[in-house]
Amino acid sequence: MNVGFTYDLRDDYLREGFTEEETAELDAAETIDAVASALSVPGHTVDRIGSVRSLTKRLAAGDRWDLVFNYAEGIFGFAREAQVPALLDAFQIPYTGSDGLVLALTLHKGATKHVVRGLGVPTPDFAAASSEEEAAAVTLPFPLFVKPIASGSSMGISEASYVETREALAATTRDLLARFHQPVLIETFLPGREITVGILGTGPRARVVGVMEVLMTADAEPHGYSYLNKKHERARYRLIDDRAAAEAADIALRVWNGLGCRDSGRVDCRCDRDGRPQFMEVNPLAGLHPVHGDLVIMSGLAGLPYVALIESIVSSAGKRLLAV
């Protein structure tokens, strides 16, 4: 196939003046090279399109593809991950991954939790706040955990996200609102294990690739998989196969299919003080860094090498397109 490849290269945005943290969701050249190389192994011709702006120009010039491998995160707005899929839908060009509706919904953690709760999936009690005054009115019991409502890659998550007092809640809320210009999500803190579930496929073909526990190292920031813990690799990983893993896998598939996610992604859970997993967030556009991507790590631990993972995503898209 002639496969187009959409993505957002981090270096491009850094050159425009965006900060390291603002571009944390975007990808390094080595990731783009790795995905393109893996796509070419089965014999596909890979056309590197780039960002939504580049895609717009290419479409206007009349360029078309058999399939687009979509890996574009976007940079502006709550619907930024939906921009490429929406544009491809307008031109009836098939692509890998979830559609614009799913990507816009799941980027907004608060909206996602409302829908997931409607599916009967357990998730910590939560509130959203767009100001210090709204945060001060939250009646959830402490301790709480505070993070930007629509950011990925642990952006905005630090040891200050864990708050035990009204004063700390106000300070963290004030800082995050100023830095990220979006509401914050305030959740009941869950003190248990950090678990992530990898999924490949769509609908009845969706399957769990692996259930992985994220363990912080001794020098990690406490209370979570923070931005600095990720950046400085202060975590280790292991596949798990116990009661919590089975419950997390069940939650993940219920969320995946309930939201209409497609082809590949990750569902993150955290355990409460009784050891029972609860839904935290879903990432239907999971990172594919060949070494550090969580989906890549658990796929490798489960015996699925990188090239096979990329081809599985393409194969999943092909199967659902044939079923239309």
Query: What tens digit of pLDDT does each residue of 223-266 get?
Result: 777 767 776 678 899 999 999 999 999 999 999 999 999 999 99
> What per-residue confidence (pLDDT) applies to 153?
67
Is residue 271 one of the residues assigned to a domain?
Answer: yes
Assess whether pLDDT exceeds 90 at residue 218.
no
Residue 32 belongs to a domain with what CATH number? 3.40.50
Q: 204 and 82: one domain?
A: no
Q: What is the pTM of this model?
A: 0.94
Q: CA angle 197-146-281, nearest 5°? A: 20
pLDDT band at 197 (very low <50, low <70, confident <90, very high): very high
Is residue 49 one of the residues assigned to a domain?
Answer: yes
Q: 195 and 307: one domain?
A: yes
> What per-residue confidence (pLDDT) applies to 101?
98
Q: 170 and 239: one domain?
A: no
Assess whether pLDDT exceeds 80 at residue 187.
yes
Q: 160 and 273: one domain?
A: no
Number of domains in the chain: 3
Is residue 18 one of the residues assigned to a domain?
Answer: yes
Instruction: Indicate the average pLDDT of the chain.
Output: 94
Q: 130 and 85: one domain?
A: no
pLDDT band at 123 (very low <50, low <70, confident <90, very high): very high
In terms of residue numbers, what domain contains 247? 191-323
Rounded average pLDDT over 287-307: 96
> What per-residue confidence (pLDDT) applies to 19?
83
Candidate from 77-91, 100-114, 225-239 with smallest mean pLDDT = 225-239
Q: CA angle 145-184-193, nearest 5°? A: 30
> What per-residue confidence (pLDDT) applies to 248?
98
What is the DSSP code string of 126-192? EEEESSHHHHHT--PPSSEEEEETT--TTTT-SGGGEE-SHHHHHHHHHHHHHHH-S-EEEEE---S
Q: 265 and 183: one domain?
A: no
Beta bridge partners of 239: 212
